[in-house]
């Protein structure tokens, strides 16, 4: 970084003072918290993480030094909850990723399901499910609920990737058919009551900190977002 672009000593000092203030606010929020999922504590934690990240960057840019501790950044944090305090409706937004690890197993299982359903036509569903991965997926997801596929994914030749569940609050239930054309278009992070993430990255982080305190999300793989308030 050029000298002209470097932060000033005063800017670094101001960032350090901001960390101190954020620490005080976080401690005060913890002392006043009303439950395990207190919104004020969550917001104070995110503010502390952001202040510490800013200080760490300025310290490095100015003095080529780093802090002796690791505070997670707030880049992936949820925004403050802005939904209703007493929601009259809720929505569950779910994403689960799978890799097709064993295509032949997928095809065989789908063909078996189609045949059990009485599909005997050699050019019909069973035949297509036995050779077409797209047809096979259609058969399996048409036969089984997503939760059952999640619990039996290896039987179907699938390998789990990341998954997430968002619980969002609303003032009232949408009208029937209102959002079917674009079901995820209006997902609002500020209305998330809580979310639950599952990812192998959490296992890797735990393996790297077996003898240390958790440096990640203070709520683990689940991130509460509201006052009502991986793997």
Confidence of residue 23 (pLDDT cuts 50, 70, 90): very high
SS3 216: coil
Same domain for 42 and 7: yes
Domain hosting residue 109, numbered range: 102-156
> How far is it, in rounded angstroms, from Cα 44 to Cα 38?
10
Q: What are the C-alpha distances in Å from 65 to residues 53, 68, 215?
A: 13, 9, 20
Same domain for 85 and 126: no
Same domain for 152 and 181: no
The model's pLDDT over 177-201, given as tens digits with 9 standing for 90+, comes to 999 999 988 888 889 988 888 988 8
Judge whether 72 lies within some domain.
no
Judge whether 50 lies within some domain.
yes
pLDDT recorded at residue 182: 92
Judge whether 119 lies within some domain.
yes
0.85 exceeded by pTM: no
pLDDT recorded at residue 67: 84
């Amino acid at each position: 970084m050029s000298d002209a672009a470097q932060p000033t000593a005063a800017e670094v000092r101001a960032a350090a003072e901001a960390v101190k203030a954020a620490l005080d606010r976080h401690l005060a929020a913890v002392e006043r918290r009303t439950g395990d999922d207190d919104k004020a504590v969550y917001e104070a934690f995110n503010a502390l993480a952001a202040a510490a990240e800013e200080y760490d960057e300025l310290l490095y840019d100015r003095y080529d030094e780093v802090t002796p501790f690791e505070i997670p950044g707030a880049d992936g944090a949820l925004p403050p909850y802005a939904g209703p305090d007493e929601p009259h409706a809720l929505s569950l937004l779910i994403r689960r990723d799978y890799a097709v690890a064993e295509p032949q197993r997928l095809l065989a299982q789908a063909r078996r399901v189609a045949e059990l359903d009485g599909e005997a036509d050699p050019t019909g569903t069973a035949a297509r499910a036995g050779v077409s991965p797209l047809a096979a997926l259609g058969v399996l997801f048409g036969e089984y609920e997503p939760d059952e596929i999640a619990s039996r994914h290896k039987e179907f030749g699938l390998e789990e990737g990341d998954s997430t569940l968002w619980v969002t609050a609303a003032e009232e239930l949408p009208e029937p058919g209102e959002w079917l054309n674009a079901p995820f278009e209006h997902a609002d992070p500020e209305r998330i009551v809580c979310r639950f993430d599952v990812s192998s990255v959490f296992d890797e982080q735990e393996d790297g900190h077996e003898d240390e305190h958790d440096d990640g999300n203070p709520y683990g793989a689940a991130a509460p977002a509201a006052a009502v308030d991986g793997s």
